[in-house]
Amino acid sequence: MFVKYLECSRCGRRYSLEDKPVMCRNNDLGRLDIYYDYKAIAEEIDREVFKDREYNMWRYLEYLPLPDQQYRVSLGEGWTPLIKAKRLGERLGLKNLYLKDETRNPTGSFKDRGMSVSVSMAKYFGFDKTVTASSGNAAVSLAAYSARAGIECIAFVPHFTAKGKIAQLMIYGAKVFRLWWKTSRDPTVEMMLKLIDKGFYPSPSFGPFNPYQIEGSKTISYEIIEQLNWRVPSQVFVPVGAASLLTGVYRGFIDFNETGLINGYPKLVAIQPKGNYPFVRAWIEKKPAKPEAIEPWPHPPETIATGLEDTYPWDGDYGLKALYETNGYGVVVSDQEIIEAIKLLARYEGIFAEPSGAAGLAGLIKALEEKRIDRDEEIVVLVTGHGLKDPEIIGKITGETPLINPDLQEFREAAKKYYGLEIK
Ligand SMILES: *Cc1c(COP(=O)(O)O)cnc(C)c1O
């Protein structure tokens, strides 16, 4: 176990794991950043040791905070494929385009990585009930891992949560409450806060309320490095809501860098939708990498990318640091551009993403237009969530399907009408 201490990102108060810390006791909504003994890890680890390890995210045990593996709660998350996108690359004029397919995680999004770590820590600390605030995916993951651990789960989600995610929540046995979202304040966070002093373990996907889940997202970066045969890619495209994923991805590269496994960083690129971009706005305005410097979005979010609906990016301070220190940048995309990206992923590479999951690709296309990429750079796009989670939006994109009798003439007519196909 290599955790040295946890330190509040706002007041600097330090904790050890024996304190069972989840939130800063000074109640200042700082994030308890976890610091590892890099020197000790480096002595234990080199590139070779991973060869014999299990193919899931727990192969990076030394970089995770769980002190005792008997409390591990796992569904086999991680080690998702890094797919070389040949057809899509050709279409976009890129020679080395890779897709990190996070839709392959147990509940269909990268949030499983974080919730596996978070629920393991809840088990280790001895909690028997947990609560979350989420637009959907984090709650879904928490519900699944809570079920696996035998822990009760209460989930607060907004009224616009996608149908597929509600179905998942219900079937995993979470107690789900949908909340009306009418102002700029996120009602799910408001409700979660009301339960924290009632013995619930808070486990949303952002740092100030739970520091452990970010540790899971770090493993995405470790995997990218290993899957690229220890090369550091040139740019990594990350969709951003609360900026916790971006924080985790950056911290993953820091970990490998500081323990001597790689040398250098990719540019990290943050993508947000036009109807809610408080984080990218802070980057455009060159705000300092401090939580109080970032202003919340002034209205409820308006985008089909409901996984990117955080009106305040809770981990935006660390996320800004990620952009500034890797020479990265932010990109804003429209819903139409996200829809285009969903189609391209599905029709050129066979990958089905929900809107938030395809936003990274929409950001890449924008960045190409803005001439921020050379044709032979090694580019990685994170595809973060599965398309079946949001079937309604897909119905709107693809239109109607013909319904016919098993009759060749009817088939011919429908083929022509719906698909422009001429059949002899
Ligand atoms: C949560 C989520 C994101 C954004 O992650 P943040 O940590 O909130 O920035 C992106 N895509 C999907 C599918 C998500 O569920």
pLDDT digits (tens, 9 = 90+) for 115-173: 999 999 999 999 999 999 998 999 999 999 999 999 999 999 999 898 999 999 999 99
Architecture of domain 82-108+212-395: 3-Layer(aba) Sandwich (3.40)
Residue 409 confidence (pLDDT) above 90 = yes
pLDDT of 183: 84
Q: Where are the alpha helices (DSSP H) in 350-404?
A: 355-369, 391-398
Apex 343 CA angle, 337 and 349, nearest 5: 125
Q: In this model, does residue 1 exceed pLDDT 90?
A: no
Question: What single-letter amino acid sits at 332?
Answer: V
The pLDDT confidence band at residue 298, using thresholds 50, 70 and 90, is very high
This prediction has a pTM of: 0.96
Whole-number Å distance between alpha carbons of 127 and 308: 29
Cβ contact 355:392 at 8 Å = no
Predicted local confidence at residue 395, as pLDDT = 80
Residue 197: predicted pLDDT: 84
pLDDT at position 399 is 81
pLDDT higher than threshold 90 for residue 194 = yes
Contact 398, 342 (CB under 8 A): no
Ligand 1 mutation pick, 308, 386, 389, max ligand atoms within 8 A of CB: 308
Q: Which amino acid is at 347?
A: R
| Residue in 280, 384, 386 to alter for ligand 1 test, most ligand atoms within 8 A of Cβ | 384
Domain-wise residue ranges, the chain: 82-108+212-395
Mean pLDDT of 244-252: 98
**Predicted confidence (pLDDT) at residue 27 exceeds the cutoff of 90:** no
| pLDDT reported for residue 28 | 86
Residues lining ligand 1, Cβ inside 6 A: 109, 111, 137, 205, 239-246, 307-308, 310, 354, 356-357, 384-385
For residues 185 and 311, is the Cβ–Cβ distance under 8 A?
yes
Give the distance from CA 6 to its chain's centroid: 22
Q: Among candidates 258, 266, 255, 245, which has minimal Cα distance to 360?
A: 245
- Residue pair 320/289 in contact (Cβ under 8 Å)? The answer is yes
Instruction: Provide the b/e sequence for 40-69 (b: ≥16 CB within 10 Å).
Output: ebeeebeeeeeeeeeebbbbbbbbbbbeee
| Average pLDDT of every residue of the chain | 96
Quote the longest CA-to-CA distance of the chain.
76
Q: For the segment 64-93, what is each residue's pLDDT rounded down to a tens digit?
A: 999 999 999 999 999 999 999 999 999 999
HEC per residue, 257-277 = HHCCCCCCCCEEEEEEECCCC
Output the CA 60–ligand 1 centroid distance in Å: 22
